[in-house]
Amino acid sequence: MTNQRAELDEKLIASWVKLTGTLKNTRITHGMIYNEAVVMMLAYYRYREDGAGLISFKEIVAETKMLKSLVNRTIDSLVAKGFLVKFDGEDKRTTFVKLVPEKLDAFLAVHRRSVALADSILDIIGMEDAEAFIRIADKVGAADPLNRK
């Protein structure tokens, strides 16, 4: 590894730590556990697409990269709070959850804080850098760098 590459590695780590610390400390999910907000966001996006908000357990695991056990606990918590309802798939091997429309306003109150943060970030970095950030974050997420061989 070259010195320039090693230096860039260190800068990348430092920037990542600063950014994640900034995002974590904004407490954008006030009133909802972070993992709950993430799962609800996926159900909400599906709801916006199809009007139902039905999403499989497998899709949630794939999108969030959370452990299956954590996704299961998070879904159970959201079901207990009335935000989601569980459904078995036709072959009983797949579990789906569906957003409860009556609880949508409660979730959106939390989600608006995330949108406000995104809007503030957009003001700071501008449209072009925001689009580049999204492209890069999606590329890194799809590559799953910790599990690359």
Tell me which DSSP letter residue 98 carries.
Answer: E
Q: 95, 109, 89, 88: which is closest to 44 by C-alpha?
A: 109
Sign of the four-CA dihedral 42, 47, 53, 59: negative
Sequence-distant (6+) residues with CB within 8 A of 58 are 94
pTM: 0.78
Q: Which of 34, 19, 15 is nearest to 113 (CA)?
A: 34
Amino acid at residue number 62 = A
Judge whether residue 32 has pLDDT over 60.
yes
Q: How confident is the model at residue 148 (pLDDT cuts 50, 70, 90)?
A: low
Please write the tens of the pLDDT for every residue from 62-120: 988 899 999 999 999 999 999 999 988 777 778 899 999 999 999 998 888 888 888 98
| Spatial separation of the C-alpha atoms in residues 121 and 126, rounded to whole Å | 8
pLDDT of residue 149: 52
Q: Which of 2-16, 54-68, 123-137 has the lowest mean pLDDT?
A: 2-16
Architecture of domain 25-147: Orthogonal Bundle (1.10)
